[in-house]
Amino acid sequence: MPLSVREKNKSTRYQHIISAAERLFLELGLDSVQMQDIANEAEIGIATVFRYFPKKDKLIVAVAIKNLERILPAFEQIASAPKTAYARLEDVLTYLLEDPDESNSSKFREAFVSYASFKKESLPDIEDYIEIQKKINNSLISIIEDGKTDGSIRTDLRIKETLITIINTFGSFVNNVVLKAPISFLEEDIDPLIQQRVLKEILLSYIRPL
């Protein structure tokens, strides 16, 4: 059933608040941003923000869910492409490294994981966030299954464990480099992008058939 005008306006306002919060969280950090700041950024009353998000943590999780929902279609498209398992895994790593929107997404995900890890109680709606994570992992199943049979990946490996470890390792490294980007590197340090590309090649070389 199509949404009514009232429901559409409510959904639009909900997404508008999330977008405003995401911009501020990326600029100032999750702890520093207050609900009034978000109301000001969204150009709405503070009461309206609290009507949609009674607690700041609920809004933080909503932003985190939107963040994952943004990358899910890309993973599903890559995983379903008519390519070898090796080529699709390479595309996943390339997406994490080169997608123009992924830098900010990675920065927020790393900040969110750090924020959540210090909470004594579970964040509100965290189950919905975990569900999106599961969908992303499930989108990789076809790569894992094809990797067992198409000959593009070493057959002596534990395919599922290896591919998931590679994706998680590379994603974490990319996130870490993004967070360190504002810090001044010593002159002799290697450019972060070069480090990312080197790690990508190391991980891919590990799974190539011997």
Residue 78 and residue 2 share a domain:
no
Number of domains comprising the chain: 2
The domain that holds 20 is classified in CATH as: 1.10.10.60
Give the 3-state secondary structure percentages of the chain, helix then strand then coil, rounded to 5: 70, 0, 30
Q: Lowest mean pLDDT: which of 30-34, 119-123, 135-139, 192-196?
A: 192-196
By residue range, what is the domain housing residue 39?
1-54
Residue 154 and residue 64 share a domain:
yes
pTM for this predicted structure: 0.87
Q: At what angle do helices 192-207 and 159-180 cross, to 10 degrees?
A: 180
The domain that holds 88 is classified in CATH as: 1.10.357
Average pLDDT over residues 140-149: 91
Identity of the residue numbered 1: M
Q: Is 7 a residue whose pLDDT tops 90?
A: no
How would you write 1-39 as a 3-class SS string? CCCCHHHHHHHHHHHHHHHHHHHHHHHHCCCCCCHHHHH
pLDDT (tens digit per residue) in 145-195? 999 899 999 989 999 899 999 998 998 887 776 556 555 455 556 777 888
Q: Would you state the structure tokens that stand for residue 137, as one six-digit string? A: 């992992």
Q: Lowest mean pLDDT: which of 42-56, 100-114, 194-208?
A: 100-114
